[in-house]
Amino acid sequence: MRLLFLGPPGAGKGTQAERVAKELGIAHVSTGEMFRSHVAKGTSLGSKVQAIMAAGDLVPDEITIAMLHERIAESDAHDGFILDGFPRTLPQAEALDDELGQEALDAVVSLEVPESELIERLLSRGREDDTEETVRNRLAVYSADTEPLIAFYSERGIVSDVTGVGDIDEVTKRILDALGH
Ligand code: ADP
């Protein structure tokens, strides 16, 4: 099963993607985690993306697409995966189509949380790139660049809207239910 999770920063996408991937026995592919790991290890990619992430901007598509390409070629992604944080722009979505074909995704889960709650959650989570200014920028970047992907995939009839409000277990159940599990 190949799944894609979409949702604004703070929606709980990463947490839910990890839980659902475990439940379904498929790989969890998080570009945000991959970038954070490069920064933590001090790789040359990490030094390129550190300031971009700290400002809440997007890493250039070319870098992100190349990293994703390598990741999904790894053996654990062979039997399926959840993409979390990729694609985040239309060119990334088009690159994914080129890579896998237009029919490849079985479902897209769109996790929905009201903006006021997103801001509250992001400011209380205390990650390095979660300052107030960065949070506002990330939400603006999400609306401009990533939200249009919901319409892009809706045209294929594969999007399930799931509300991300409620306790973590409850949201996981809702997602599994939407996926028919
Ligand atoms: P969140 O879900 O809170 O926005 P992520 O962990 O998904 O956080 O991503 C953190 C940061 O990593 C983003 O703000 C961005 O700078 C970078 N990033 C992650 N995925 C992508 C992507 N697909 N394209 C460009 N930048 C990305």
Helix/strand/coil percentages in the chain, nearest 5: 55, 15, 30
What is the crossing angle of helices 44-54 and 31-41, to 10°?
120
Given this model, what pLDDT does residue 125 score? 86
The alpha carbons of the chain give a radius of gyration, in whole angstroms, of 16
CA terminus-to-terminus distance, the chain: 12
- Which atom of ligand 1 lies at the shortest distance from residue 122's CA? 3
DSSP state, residue 85? S
Contact 1, 26 (CB under 8 A): yes
Measured CA to CA, the distance from residue 122 to residue 132 in angstroms comes to: 9
Q: Which of 6, 39, 59 to mutate to test the pocket of ligand 1 (most atoms within 8 A of CB)?
A: 59
Ligand 1 geometric centre to CA of 136 (Å)? 14
The amino acid sitting at 154 is S
**Residue in the structure block whose two tokens are 């990334």:** 92
Given this model, what pLDDT does residue 128 score? 85
Taking only the tens of pLDDT, the chain with its 181 residues reads: 999 999 999 999 999 999 999 999 999 999 999 999 999 999 999 999 999 999 999 999 999 999 999 999 999 999 999 999 999 999 999 999 999 999 899 999 999 999 999 999 999 988 888 899 999 999 999 999 999 999 999 999 999 999 999 999 999 999 999 999 9
Ligand 1 geometric centre to CA of 127 (Å)? 13
* Ligand 1 pocket, CB under 6 A: 9, 13-14, 31-32, 35, 52-53, 56-59, 64, 85-86, 88, 92, 138
